[in-house]
Structure 1
Amino acid sequence: MSNENISLQMRQHPGQAVITAHTIVTTDGPRHYLMATPRKQNENLRPLVIILHGAGASAAQVMGLAFPVSPLSVWLEIAEREQLLVVAPDGSKKGWNDSFAHVRNKPETDDTGMIRNLIAHMIREHEADPQRVYVIGVSKGGMMAYRLATELGSMLAAFASVLANMPQQSVCAAPVTPISALIVASTRDPLVPYGGGKYFYTPLLSPMKSINDTVDIWRTLANLPATGKSVDIPKSAASNPTSCTRITWGDNPEQLQIVLLRINGGGHAEPSQSQFYPWFLSRLVGAQNTDIDIAEEAWAFFKDKRCKDAGGNSRPETASGENK
């Protein structure tokens, strides 16, 4: 075992899946990722969850190993409890080549190809279940998740995009594969406008579709009714200025579903009941909701979903190598 992996494990809690560091070989060169594996042996194939960090963040941050600890780090506990494989790759230059056109300083790496190779590697070498591959991304990682759902939709059972909209102008074609989607959006997000467009003080971003238009793209593709079922989630603390509304299109969790978790009054912070951002970050990005936990909500949404085309994707065409 490498010294890096020993160091990672020393920084973890016993109730979490074990993190190890890896490198995957791509056409753009070696790419780093962290993998969390349950401590218990398991004879069955394991679901695979791929986490995409936000711009300027890292795999270490979403795995809870770097400041500020992300609410997505709760996936480590879920992985241990539910026998999942969780993988967090690092974006090139801490960013992603998402589908937004006219974005400054966007990396030119083939991130879709890298994720395709990573899925293939996890299926081939780590007994990931090809029917149960899921992607969740936050902020710019959520924007990349939309691109992956568009370009790799037949390989995914479902995806989640947190605090991210789709672009008004895209570098890739419109999505054609119906796929279950969990979309999390805050109505007072100071970086990602709920109503679309862009803020004048975000020059590095490109105009976005509104959340309602983003939801409609995936809802229409899934051939679901125009009106969803809305439920207000009970508040966990009366003092928190935010609230959460869950809107669901599709009644059967084993079939195509679209869910919007609308964080009313929330800012650019993933909702969580256990991992809270420091107060000074909330002053910058807005209030964090504490009524739900984003990782638990995503797993509840993912767990019954299966890839309809898994038979053709159990061995994706593009292979990958790894240096351990």
Structure 2
Amino acid sequence: MDYSTRKIILIVTVIIVIITITVAVFLLIIPIQAGTVYRDVPIEHSGRTRTYNYFVPANLPASPVPLVFTIHGGGINADQQFGLTGTKAPYKILLDIAEQEKFIVVAPDGTENPSDPNPEKLYWNDCRADMTLVNKSVDDVGFIETLITLFLHNFNIDPNRIYATGISNGGGMSLRLAIDLSHKIAAVAILSQGNANNSVCTGPVNPIPVLLMSGTADELNQWDGGYSEIESARGSTKSIPDTVAFWVNQNGADTVPEVTEIPNGPYNDHGTTVTLYDYDNGIQGTEVLLYKVNGGGHLEPSLTEQYSDTAEAFLGNQNHDIETAKEVWKFFKKHALNGPVSSVTLIGGNIVSVEDFCLLAPCIGVTLTIPVATVTTGIYVTRIWPRKKQ
């Protein structure tokens, strides 16, 4: 083989390699979500520099969009909540849902433990008076309220569709928001956390939809309440059944729930199962949902974000029958600040489902219309729910 021939073969080979590498790189850089994550954004509040992350989906609509706060647990931070640190994070799936459903997600950072400062391990000043891992003078409610005001100013946010969710200490903070900001928060979703036994919070002014999800084998925030078997400095909580009863009573909801056994998923989750209890028909369309994770520990259920054996050895079994973020958003999207959300959803291209059409006005003596001028010709299914009791 002469020099010229070898040179041609070499050039062709290099071109093929370059093309292959280019294609590979192109595939690797495709993001999971098309929107943008803004990280470690500083803001001054009450003499402290606080930080937060937020996610804005691509191509936001002209109409107002929901705002969801996802609040990290005690001892971690907003980066971990968003799944930016490489660890498993079931809540990061909320960003993919936000991209699809078009809402903004905010992950605020708590503050350091005053007796063991560490900028990577942050905590929230929730309702537990006997929790000693956080500076009790920190105004976390005011911080969240400031962020609400900021996002209402900077984005086209629907003020009636602002939500909060979190696990453990983040769930406790979400519970506090349900009490202290029930005039601004439309619904909350609480994981692995019950109401405080020794509470600095007095009780919500308004009814508010509440989702609770807890494992019966959780040793950090126990199903039966009391102090943690792992870390008593977290303070004492009420049992999950007592917490459910409180919110059912607060919302005037049905005391006998509808019970659903969630089908087992395809993954090994050490025999854990999920039972859903739905306490419906509350004031202004509120409800209380309880996802009882039978045999579950202090970990968010997930099909795709499965924690390591080491994490399960410390925090208990993780259930793999449901996707926490999907269940949370499915709950949130039904509720607005003053009642259920009215929605017109295209199904299969030309079938419309109308849900909770009564919404904010009595159904008697009021003419309600559906804008279907832009909907293509086809079969339409209308579902009108009864007016919720007042």
Secondary structure of 1:112 counterpart = helix
- In the TM superposition, residue 68 of structure 1 has moved relative to its aligned partner by 2.2
- Computing the radius of gyration over CA atoms, which structure comes out larger, 1 or 2? 2
* Pairwise CA distance, 1:176: 3.1
1:117-196 aligned within 5 A: 117-196=146-225
Deviation at 1:13, TM superposition (A): 2.1
Residue number among 239, 242, 254 corresponding to 1:213 in the alignment: 242
What is the 5 A alignment of 1:18-167?
A: 18-21=36-39, 22-93=41-112, 94-107=122-135, 108-167=137-196
Structure 2 SS opposite 1:204: helix
Instruction: Return the letter of the residue paired with 1:305.
Output: H
SS at match of 2:54: strand
Q: In 2, are the aligned partners of 1:176 and 1:221 still within 8 Å (CA)?
A: no
The one-letter code sitting in structure 1 at the alignment partner of 2:176 is R
Cα 1:287–1:12 shift into 2, 3 Å: farther
Letter in 2 for 1:89: P
- The offset of 1:267, in angstroms, is 0.5
- Give the stretch that moved more between structures: 173-182 or 73-82: 173-182
Counterpart position of 2:328:
298
Matched residues in 1 for 2:52 and 2:158: separation?
19
Matched letter for residue 243 of structure 1: T
For residues 281 and 155 of structure 2, the distance between their equivalents in structure 1, rounded to whole angstroms, comes to: 33
Q: For residue 175 of structure 1, report the CA deviation from its aligned partner.
A: 2.5
In the alignment, structure 2 segments of 5+ residues that lack a partner are: 1-27, 113-121, 340-390
CA distance, structure 2, for counterparts of residue 150 and residue 172 of structure 1: 7
Task: Give the 3 Å change call, closer, same or farther, for CA 242–203 of structure 1 in structure 2.
Answer: same
Q: How far does residue 200 in structure 1 lie from its aligned partner after superposition? A: 4.5
Paired residue secondary structure (2:232): coil
* Larger RCO, structure (CA 8 Å, separation 6 or more): 1
Q: Size of the alignment, in residue pairs? A: 300
Kept in 1, the 8 Å contact 2:130–2:236? The answer is no
Distance in 2, Cα, partners of 1:36 & 1:101: 32
Q: Is the 8 A contact 1:16 1:79 kept in 2?
A: no
Report the counterpart of residue 11 of structure 2 in structure 1: none
Aligned pair 1:204/2:223, yes or no? no
Q: How far 1:128 sits from its partner (Å)?
A: 1.4
8 Å CA contact 1:154, 1:308 repeated in 2 = no
Q: Choose 97-106 or 208-217, whichever is displaced more.
A: 97-106
Aligned ranges 1:239-254 → 2 under 5 Å: 239-240=268-269, 241-250=271-280
Query: Which residue in the other structure is 2:364 paired with?
Result: none
How far apart in 1 are the matches of 2:338 and 2:181? 13
Identity of aligned residues (%): 32
The 8 Å contact of residues 12 and 18 in structure 1, kept in 2 or not, is answered as: no
2:35 is aligned with 1:17: yes
Please tell me the root mean square deviation across aligned C-alpha atoms, in Å: 1.9
Name the counterpart of 1:314.
Answer: none
TM-score for both structures, normalised by structure 1: 0.88
Tell me, in whole angstroms, the C-alpha distance in 1 between the residues paired with 2:139 and 2:317. 34
Note if contact 2:188-2:210 (Cα within 8 Å) is conserved in structure 1: yes
SS in 2 for 1:226: coil
- The CA deviation string for residues 137-185 of structure 1, in whole angstroms up to 9 with x for no partner, is 1110001111111000110110011111111110121233210000011
| 1:235 matched residue in structure 2 | 264
Aligned mates of 2:99, 2:267 — CA distance in 1: 32
- Whether the aligned pair in 2 keeps the contact of 1:48 and 1:84 (CA below 8 Å) is yes
Quick one: which of 256, 281, 286 aligns to 1:256? Answer: 286
Q: State how far apart, in whole Å, the 1-side matches of 2:143 and 2:95 are.
A: 23
8 Å Cα contact 1:145-1:159 kept in structure 2: yes
Q: Do the aligned residues in 2 keep the contact of 1:11 with 1:65 (CA within 8 Å)?
A: no
Query: Would you say the 8 A contact 1:196–1:208 is kept in 2?
Result: yes
Cα distance in 1, alignment partners of residues 134 and 34 from structure 2: 33
Structure 1: stretches of 5+ with no match in the other structure: 1-9, 310-324
